[in-house]
């Protein structure tokens, strides 16, 4: 089949390269000439493990190409995917659908034959209806089926998620759309990947509901971690204890500094706004959003406490290890590191940082932070070391060298990647999340 992928960002490029690897003929389209030029040179606009090799292999095989011309790119396409950005709109938190609608209009005006138009971008309920209306208003005489096909890709593991998905959701209202999408995903039938066909609005809501639920799990275990610190429990054991219940599951139960990234923050906000528009309050999601934002700054205050409090922290130096919202990506969107660094600099703390992939993206977002070339350069002379992102490079630091370079052997591990007993035996003042309480010295609220 011929597939056109409009948008060559994270979702569009990964999806397009994977579809090409399945054997489809794929054209990735983007208005950004510099991005297309770099792709022609084999330079990826994002960091994603394995993506450069996948793109290169399929370009060489003649199955994957790039263009800035939408009419040229969609000519003869059986399926046209819309995979452009839907960022939170300034002011009200609604998803900004202007890019989606602009693509829909140009697609309608440029169609040369029947086609299925697929919203791959994360969009609020009812967006497909508007896309369908916009295309119809262009006056096209060709048969068009507008389908919803949300993505469920984890940054850092996107290629594996695409090729071995736990489910494929397709919202289609007619046989034409269902048949074409079945053929698009036919290569995955061999893997027996479950395909769920639904109505279009249901498909759109599934994406938001899934992300909101996962965000809720993260926020829930973070609050339990705070309670663990007060009562002398270990949040990692609590996570294991509840995660072994197959009704709950173990994933997304790792305590930390809060969620970030391209999906959870904007999708939970968009869901709140949709619920507000339909007068159907989602109070749990509202609490999740507020609690998560509060937590990020609280992690900065946790570091300040480890430095001896606000008065003693002023003028001290802290090494931040990890800036991206998660490992194996260069994505800085809503990363907890931003709020942690801001809280520290507001308190008069000098912040030095290192991240294996995210520093170029981080520089304009964190102008007061000094970027270093390796973790040890950031650690040198520091009064505290803070692990914000659980990159593999930070899991086996040379602690003898760390202790020699640091001004004070204080580590605040916001990802719980080290064992408290091991760190204390090596002479560190070690602070982690949800594991610092001492049994027998319980502090109960008197309220």
Q: How far is CA 309 from the centre of its chain?
A: 33
Compute the C-alpha angle 266/268/270, nearest 5°.
65
Please choose, from the candidates 68, 45, 41, 46, the residue with its C-alpha nearest in 3D space to the C-alpha of residue 56: 41
- Cα gap 42→260, rounded to integer Å: 29
Q: Encoding tokens for residue 33?
A: 């000439």
Phi then psi for residue 340, to 5 deg, are: -60, -50
CA distances from 321 to 88, 192, 298, 327 (A): 28, 40, 18, 11
- Cα gap 225→220, rounded to integer Å: 9
Q: Encoding tokens for residue 132?
A: 């369908």
Q: Is 263 helix (H, G, I), strand (E, B) or coil?
A: coil
Q: Encoding tokens for residue 107?
A: 């697609």
* Residue tagged 């008065």 (tokens): 311
Any idea which residues carry the catalytic annotation? 263
For the chain, how big is the Rg over CA atoms in Å?
24
Q: How many CA atoms lie within 13 A of 363 on its CB side?
A: 6
Name 105's Cβ contacts closer than 8 Å, sequence gap at least 6. Answer: 134, 135, 138
Q: Encoding tokens for residue 222?
A: 């973070």
Q: Is the dihedral of CA 400, 401, 407, 409 positive or negative?
A: negative
Please choose, from the candidates 214, 215, 235, 237, the residue with its C-alpha nearest in 3D space to the C-alpha of residue 225: 235
* Residue tagged 């003028």 (tokens): 315
Strand order in the sheet with 410-413: 370-371, 350-354, 317-321, 384-387, 410-413, 429-431
Phi then psi for residue 29, to 5 deg, are: -120, 135
Strands (E), 133-192: 144-148, 168-171
The answer to whether 387 touches 414, Cβ cutoff 8 Å, is yes
- Cα gap 206→234, rounded to integer Å: 34
């Amino acid at each position: 089949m011929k597939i056109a992928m409009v948008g060559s960002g994270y979702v569009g490029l990964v999806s397009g390269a994977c579809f090409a690897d399945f054997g489809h003929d794929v054209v990735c389209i983007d208005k950004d000439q510099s991005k297309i030029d770099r792709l022609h040179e084999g330079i990826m606009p994002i960091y994603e493990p394995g993506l450069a090799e996948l793109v290169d292999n399929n370009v060489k095989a003649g199955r994957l190409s790039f263009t800035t011309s939408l009419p040229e790119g969609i000519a003869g396409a059986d399926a046209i995917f819309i995979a452009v950005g839907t960022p939170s709109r300034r002011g009200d938190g609604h998803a900004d659908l202007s890019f989606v609608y602009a693509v829909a209009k140009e697609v309608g005006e440029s169609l040369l034959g029947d086609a299925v138009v697929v919203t791959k971008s994360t969009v609020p309920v009812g967006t497909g209806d508007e896309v369908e209306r916009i295309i119809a208003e262009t006056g096209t005489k060709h048969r068009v089926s507008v389908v919803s096909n949300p993505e469920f890709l984890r940054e850092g593991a996107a290629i594996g998620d695409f090729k071995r998905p736990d489910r494929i959701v397709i919202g289609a209202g007619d046989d034409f759309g269902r048949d074409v999408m079945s053929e698009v995903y036919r290569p995955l039938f061999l893997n027996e990947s479950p395909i769920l066909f639904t109505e279009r609005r249901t498909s759109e809501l599934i994406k938001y509901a899934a992300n909101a639920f996962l965000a809720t799990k993260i926020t829930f275990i973070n609050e339990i971690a705070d309670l663990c610190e007060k009562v002398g429990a270990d949040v990692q054991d609590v996570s294991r204890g509840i995660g072994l219940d197959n009704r709950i599951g173990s994933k997304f139960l790792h305590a930390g500094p809060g969620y970030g990234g391209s999906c959870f923050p904007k999708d939970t906000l968009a869901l709140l706004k949709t619920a507000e528009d339909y007068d159907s309050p989602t109070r749990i999601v509202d609490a999740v959003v507020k609690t998560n934002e509060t937590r990020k700054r609280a992690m900065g205050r946790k570091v300040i406490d480890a430095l001896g409090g606000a008065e003693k922290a002023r003028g001290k130096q802290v090494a931040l290890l990890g800036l991206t919202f998660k490992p194996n990506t260069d994505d800085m969107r809503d990363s907890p590191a931003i709020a942690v660094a801001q809280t520290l600099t507001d308190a008069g703390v000098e912040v030095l940082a290192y991240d294996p992939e995210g520093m170029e993206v981080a520089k304009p977002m964190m102008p007061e932070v000094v970027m270093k070339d390796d973790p040890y350069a950031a650690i040198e002379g520091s009064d505290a070391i803070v692990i914000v992102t659980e990159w593999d490079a930070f899991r086996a630091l040379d602690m003898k060298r760390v202790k020699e370079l640091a001004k004070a052997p204080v580590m605040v591990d916001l990802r719980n990647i080290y064992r408290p007993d091991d760190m204390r035996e090596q002479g560190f003042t070690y602070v982690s999340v949800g594991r610092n309480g001492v049994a027998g010295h319980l502090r109960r609220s008197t309220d």
